[in-house]
Amino acid sequence: MRAAVATGLALVMLSACDAQTDTGYQGEPLVTLRGRVESSGELPPLEAAMLWQRGPPPGTEDQELATRAPVTSGFPASFILRLYKPAPEAAFRTLAAGAPRWARANAAAIPYGVAANQVPALPTVFTASYTYDPAHWVIYLDSDVPPVSLTEWWLGGALGAGYHLLRVVPLSGCLTQGELDACAAQLVRRGVPDDGTSNPGTARAFCKAPYRLQPTTVDEAIVLKLGPGTAGPGAACP
């Protein structure tokens, strides 16, 4: 009798555990980002999304969907994006041979119901139903960034492995010759070659990038503005 009672209790406990199990549970997110959507008119049906950028920075011509989330109605129209996985292999890049691998993503507002295979065809300019946040990059690092390295200079700090939110600060103008020489000298001390040209991979090519990066906290709000706007940094200086 006691054995039957024990067996029955065990089955009840197992049944209770099964009832509490969420088959859609993905575990704890690796990073959680919050933001809002702004528009001068009525919001169209849309979703918030995180888009991995598979091309060279700062371009947004080759994208892959990381995740999407609903945008709540009201004022402000807010969203929460959670990433549960590292970046996909197609998004990883390095600044130089042997340097830490990194991947970048942008938060975006996309038309509701867009399929994942339609994401690469999204426009690279703002529209009434599509926009992205040019002021921030979500960076994933698969290893720690060593100090006094090119990657540390580029990211604005010796960041650890994992997810980070960075501000993208467009440069207001081209560097003077003196500023360019000083920047190149700084990168030479970090092991970057300087042959006096702006060829890819050289110090002056990195210095002439039309933006600089600044690490910030993941608590900083992401703002997605619908309508005409400035889509991030422009072309590199000649």
**What are the pLDDT tens digits along the chain (238 aa)?**
444 444 443 433 334 443 333 446 779 999 999 999 998 888 889 999 999 999 999 999 999 999 999 999 877 899 999 999 999 999 999 999 999 999 999 999 999 988 999 988 888 778 888 999 999 999 999 999 999 999 999 999 999 999 999 999 999 889 999 999 999 999 999 999 999 999 999 999 999 999 999 999 999 999 999 877 656 676 667 7
Q: Which two tokens stand for residue 56?
A: 């060279």
Tracing tokens 């598979």 back to the chain, one arrives at 54
Q: Which of 105, 111, 83, 87 is nearest to 27 (CA)?
A: 83
Q: Which of 15, 18, 104, 50 is nearest to 222 (CA)?
A: 50
Residue 210 three-state SS = coil
pTM, whole model, 2 decimals? Answer: 0.85
